[in-house]
Chain A
């Protein structure tokens, strides 16, 4: 029985990633099929994939630099073509680090490494940091944030040691802004942009949390939307409207199982899934199962 990714989201399982299962669950929760693709499988399998997600974790244990070893893997040749065709590609956390080290992001010069995700710079601590942060949906062409309201505030957890977007080339930053590539910024629970820790949890330039390519189909984001895809995952004491919503759902199991703030990243795919299904003449119907 040959495996097929037709109409499905392929979750790329590099050795050492560890968020592949819950990322697949988060995709399935919006009604799109998802399956794991092991890094050394035949890339031909991905021929008709609906979208690709590079999940979080520690590919190759972050050796040398987070994401860089996976970026040199042969499977990236295939992903490069998929991304260049305009199919949606999402890198979450370690996946974002892979996309940056592959030069898919910012992708102004395709495959040229124009950014870095550098070690966190934080007040009073260093290294790995895991906490909930707030993101603001910025005006961008990104397909993965398409279902959010303009400037919507989205609480999502982060968990990383190297997540500080930085570039040595200020021209690149200007171009990214001009192209509408800054998809997500860290903000306060009310949407204010404050550069200090912990609002900006890693010292990222201009509070950048997520960057898309100029076409908007590839997104590299450090926070983990799959960990905020159900209301039950939101901490009860989180400030802001989602925290209040979570608080009010206490004791009501059915409400706790409702979507969380991160779900929208995945449901943004639905419009694409519909689009692809139309284009392929209804063959992608099973995608919704």
Chain B
């Protein structure tokens, strides 16, 4: 019998359960018994702790895996690596010598930790996601943060604002210090997040295909001895139980979660990043095959078992070789702790000394952080056994594929029936005032106060920055035209009315955003944020959202490769997003889309540029204001008519806009969604607030064929694009739109007047001076993020 064996076989259910809870384990009874079956004996406490982590929702995707596998397209000609490893990889640009520059992308949530400790939670989120990209051998070139907070004017306003500020601060503290530019993201406020915020993080990296590093022990380990080197912060218990923590309801008393939140250290991470680069370059230079993986949930046990299993090897770990922080930690804690800022490398024995010298001497890790460094903790074995030794005792021993074997559930689902209703529109409302209310709504207003808190300039690659257009663009390859565009999408209020549309529209919006700067949507990632999957209606929301995402990916497709879907290469599922009341957050699939730009110099900001240019609307406003900002701000209601994703229309519109960019026609482009046509036009006049654009007279008579009232035309959230084109090409524009079968409306001609006017039947409905719109738009979020801070 191994040391520390826990008796399960032969004991009653209640005895087993009591024993599990007493040890702080979340395994279900069935899962505990399954462990015994797999091992063919009673497990040790270390083994139980490992399975507890590996079978958490976060690591195992036990509720979601089956549905994701069935519904989501992950293969396309540009995909190098789909879901499965830490990050997804697509081909981006040819190097010219037979190789490819690739984009590496990862997307995760850090919701619960950010609710409890906003600064550290959000910072650790960045810290974790960049590790996923670094460990593929890539250089991280940007991070994005889709954020969802509660209602800043609601019952829980104080906590909401404290969390929002803390999260933004945490992102800034980590990302700015690490030296990774922030490429935006989005911020949405809704009372559905009052008790549980969503903090998603996306990281992007660049690497040559030939320099991609896999998270596995290389096959060369069959020929010569390989070691596992653990590098980074000394292991402690600060994150212990973190992975399990993401699978529980957020209890009202935050106390219960103490100790589960990890302490981030961007300083150590920066030094590690520079040192890693030296090690990887040296290995590449010498042609030494290595494996590389970051430590996240599950810590040492997870990283070593996955490295070994993926390569087809076993591993023997000596826990006494692990550098631990001051304190006394039992073997189960050392094996499974989630201590931040650590990586594991699989390197040949004769390369170990050099690796250790780079970390421990050249970059002096022991002085950068007390107790940090690179240490050999394990031998790779040809025999496929996973074993852990502590103080001379074997505390875990099993075939390695038993450790990494997953667990899956078929969760039942049941559609929910809620009756949604359109509001009765009031006669005689002031369009002037209502529009300003929409413009200053925190969901529409400028996020300048957030973005200016982040460093978007570091690395010197920025072409389009957060707030300048619908997507950010960087020029990541020195001297090359190829640009990389990235944006996110996901409006929670759509998903409340219809979770299928919530998923589908998130894809449409993200794809539209990158197309607006002229990029071809080339891959997406999904982070699926939902409530408790054991509740049938929540699981139905999840199922519908995934179905919508899958349909949209196939429907919009990969424009660079006809007949292929827009592939999903990475993602994350976050369940149990609910607060004390038990109410789940609005179904929130959040999508990040990467677009490839042929020539970055053609990417334009969304601000109107030149008097005399023509403004067109590409699209078709429908009676689709449900879940939209106009209904929320003016009628405090959801409505019922959520936009219905029409994939053919979206695809055609996206293609049209990309073609117009390619032809060099587009001077400014902006998609219409949240806040509709009017908000989009106002935003194109204001830009990022530095310099007003020209004025415009919007004649609603042009939109008479839509058969909608003025409010509905102006605030419909049907997806489309506004474009500024030079005069004199009307015929070509019409021909292009006809060829692509998209609807086109002429909005007006840009003028020198510093105002926006809306007319109908020759009568002026409203007019706004630029200054008035700018004040509403630029200051809408000031109370939330500015100093003075709405106390």
Closest 9 CB pairs of A and B: A18-B179, A61-B267, A22-B460, A124-B786, A253-B601, A58-B177, A256-B601, A236-B605, A227-B457
Q: A256-288, CB under 8 A of B: which get 1 and which 0?
A: 110000000000000000000000000000000
* 8 Å CB contact of A232 from B601, B604, B607: B601
- B687 beta carbon closer than 8 Å to chain A: yes
Q: How far is the CB of A102 from chain B (nearest CB, A)?
A: 20
Given contacts A18-B270, A19-B179, contact A257 B460 (CB under 8 A): no
- Chain A residues near B609 (CB-CB < 8 A): 247
Using a CB-CB cutoff of 8 Å, which residues 570-623 of chain B contact chain A?
599-602, 604-605, 607, 609
The reply to whether B602 and A237 contact each other, CB–CB distance below 8 Å, is: no
Collect the chain A residues with CB atoms within 8 Å of residue B313's CB.
none
B690 touches A232 (CB 8 A): no
Give the one of B364, B464, B690 with max A CB within 10 A. B690
Q: Which of A25, A40, A236, A237 contacts B478 (CB 8 A)?
A: A25
CB-CB under 8 A from A230, the residues of chain B are 460
Chain B: minimal CB distance from A68 (Å): 15
Closest chain A residue, CB of each to CB of B178:
A18
A195 within 8 A of B: no
Contact assessment for A236 and B604 in the assembled complex, using a CB-CB cutoff below 8 Å: yes
Interface presence of B772 (CB below 8 A): no
| Inter-subunit contact B601/A128 (CB<8 Å) | no
Which of the candidate stretches B446-454, B673-681, B737-745 sits at the interface with the other chain?
B446-454
CB of B410 to closest CB in A, whole Å: 47
* Docked complex Cα distance between A79 and B435 (Å): 59
With contacts A124-B787, A127-B169 known, is A57 near B179, CB below 8 A? Answer: yes
Q: Which residue of A lies closest to B462 (CB)?
A: A233
Rounded to whole Å, the gap between the CB of B189 and the closest CB of chain A is 19
The interface residues of chain B lying within 8 Å CB-to-CB of A116 are none
Extra A-B contacts (17), CB below 8 Å, given A16-B270, A122-B787: A15-B271, A15-B364, A16-B177, A18-B178, A19-B458, A40-B362, A58-B177, A58-B267, A58-B270, A128-B176, A236-B464, A239-B690, A249-B601, A253-B599, A255-B601, A256-B600, A257-B479
Place the interface of chain B in its size category.
Answer: 35 or more
Scan residues 7-61 of chain A and give those whose CB is less than 8 A from a CB of chain B. Answer: 13, 15-16, 18-19, 21-22, 25-26, 38, 40, 56-58, 60-61
Report the Cα distance A130→B184, complex, angstroms.
13
Closest to B606 in A: A237
Q: 1/0 per residue B177-213: CB within 8 Å of A?
A: 1110000000000000000000000000000000000
Instruction: Give chain B's interface secondary structure class.
Output: loop
Beta-carbon nearest neighbor of B368 in chain A: A15
Within 8 A of B (CB), among A178-232: 224, 226-227, 229-230, 232
CB-defined A-B contacts under 8 Å, sample of 7: A15-B368, A127-B169, A159-B457, A230-B460, A235-B465, A239-B690, A247-B609
Are A252 and B601 touching (Cβ within 8 A)? yes
Q: Contact mask B356-388 → A, CB, 8 Å, 1/0? A: 000000111000100000000000000000000
Check: B31 CB closer than 8 A to any chain A CB: no
A230 to B687: give the CA distance in the assembly, Å: 23
Cβ A251 vs Cβ B601 within 8 A: yes
Chain B, 34-64, contact with A by CB distance < 8 Å: what is the 0/1 string?
A: 0000000000000000000000000000000
Q: How far is the CA of A159 from the CA of B454 in the complex (A)?
A: 8
Q: Which residues of B contact A251 (CB under 8 A)?
A: 599, 601-602, 664
Residue of A nearest to B173 (CB): A128
Chain B min CB distance to A235 (Å): 6
Tell me if A289 counts as interface (CB < 8 A to partner B): no
Complex Cα gap A238–B691 (Å): 7
Tell me which residues across on chain B come within 8 A of A21, comparing CB atoms: 459
B599 CB to nearest chain A CB (Å): 6
Measured in the bound complex, the distance between the Cα atoms of B457 and A229 in whole Å is: 12
Q: How far is the CB of A262 from chain B (nearest CB, A)?
A: 10
Report how far A262 CA is from B32 CA in the complex, Å: 63
Query: Is A77's beta carbon under 8 Å from chain B?
Result: no
Interface residues of B in 442-477 (CB under 8 A from A): 449, 451-460, 462-465, 468, 475
Residue in B265, B457, B481, B690 whose beta carbon sits within 8 Å of that of A253 in the complex: B481
Given the known A-B contacts A15-B267, A16-B270, A128-B172, are A237 and B460 also in contact in the complex, defined by CB atoms under 8 Å? Answer: no
Residues in B whose Cβ lies below 8 Å from that of A19? 179, 458
Complex Cα distance, B663 from A251, in Å, reads: 10
Cβ of A241 within 8 Å of any chain B Cβ, yes or no, is: no
CA distance A257 to B460 in the complex (A): 13
Please, which residues of chain B bring their CB within 8 A of the CB of A253? 481, 599-601
Q: Is B425 an interface residue (CB 8 A)?
A: no
> Whole-angstrom distance from the CB of A183 to the nearest CB of chain B?
21
| A129 is an interface residue with CB less than 8 A from chain B | yes
CB distance from B543 to the nearest CB of A (A): 41
- Does residue A3 face the partner (Cβ distance < 8 Å to B)? no
Do A124 and B782 have beta carbons less than 8 Å apart? yes
Q: Is B706 an interface residue (CB 8 A)?
A: no
- From known contacts A58-B267, A129-B452, A249-B601, infer whether A232 and B177 are also in contact, taking CB-CB under 8 Å: no
Nearest to A129 among chain B residues (CB) is B452
Residues in A with CB closer than 8 Å to B690 are 235, 237-239
- The smallest C-beta distance from B130 to any residue of chain A, in angstroms, reads 13
State which of B177, B449, B463, B468 has its C-beta within 8 Å of the C-beta of A125: B449
Shortest C-beta distance, A269 to chain B (Å), equals 18
Q: List the B side residues contacting A13 at CB < 8 Å.
A: 274
Residues of the A chain whose Cβ atoms lie less than 8 Å from the Cβ of B705 = none
- CB pair B458 A18 closer than 8 Å: yes
Cβ contact within 8 Å between A126 and B787: yes
Whether a CB of chain A sits under 8 angstroms from the CB of B330 is no
Residues of B within 8 A of A124 (CB): 449, 782, 786-788
CB-CB < 8 A to B457: which residues of A?
130, 157, 159, 224, 227, 233
Residues of chain A within 8 A (CB-CB) of B541 are none
How many Å from the CB of B369 to the closest CB on chain A? Answer: 10
Closest chain B CB from A229 CB (angstroms): 7
Contact check, B267 vs A60: say whether CB atoms are below 8 A apart: yes
B452:A15 contact, CB within 8 angstroms: no
Report yes or no: B604 in contact with A226, Cβ–Cβ below 8 A: no
Residue in B closest to A21 when the chains form the complex, CB atoms = B459
Cβ of B683 under 8 Å from chain A: no
Q: Which of B750-791 contact A (CB under 8 A)?
A: 782, 785-788
Pick from B267, B449, B602: contact of A250, CB under 8 Å: B602
Counting CB contacts under 8 A, is A131 at the interface?
yes
**Nearest CB of chain B from residue A263's CB, rounded to whole Å:** 12
Chain B residues with CB under 8 Å of A257's CB are 479
**Cβ-based interface call for B557 (8 A):** no
| Bound-complex Cα distance A126 to B289 (A) | 48
A229 to B462, CA, bound (A): 12
Known interface pairs A235-B468, A238-B690, A253-B481. Does A226 touch B460 (Cβ–Cβ under 8 Å)? yes
Q: Which residues of the other chain, B, contact A58 by a CB distance below 8 angstroms?
A: 176-177, 266-267, 270
Cα(A236)–Cα(B266), bound, Å: 32
Count chain B CB atoms within 10 A of each CB in A13, A56, A131 and give the residue with the most.
A131
- Decide if B604 touches A250 in the complex (CB within 8 Å): yes
Task: Give Cα A226 to B457, complex, Å.
Answer: 10
Q: Chain B residues with Cβ under 8 A from A239's Cβ?
A: 690-691
Knowing A19-B458, A129-B453, A251-B664, say if A236 contacts B468 (CB, 8 Å): yes
Q: Is B341 an interface residue (CB 8 A)?
A: no
Whether A237 pairs with B270 at a CB distance below 8 angstroms is no
Question: In the complex, how many angstroms separate the beta carbon of A60 from the nearest chain B beta carbon?
Answer: 7
| Residue from B271, B459, B602 within 8 A of A22 (CB atoms) | B459
Chain B positions within 8 Å of A61 at CB level: 177, 265-267
B688 on interface, CB distance cutoff 8 Å: yes
A22: which B residues are within 8 A, CB to CB?
A: 458-460
Q: Which chain B positions have C-beta within 8 A of A243?
A: 691
Report yes or no: A130 in contact with B455, Cβ–Cβ below 8 A.
yes
- Which B residues are in CB contact (< 8 Å) with A56? 458
Given contacts A249-B601, A253-B601, contact A38 B362 (CB under 8 A): yes
Residues of A within 8 A of B463 (CB): 232-233
A11 to chain B, nearest CB (A): 12
Quote the shortest CB–CB distance from A37 to chain B (angstroms): 12
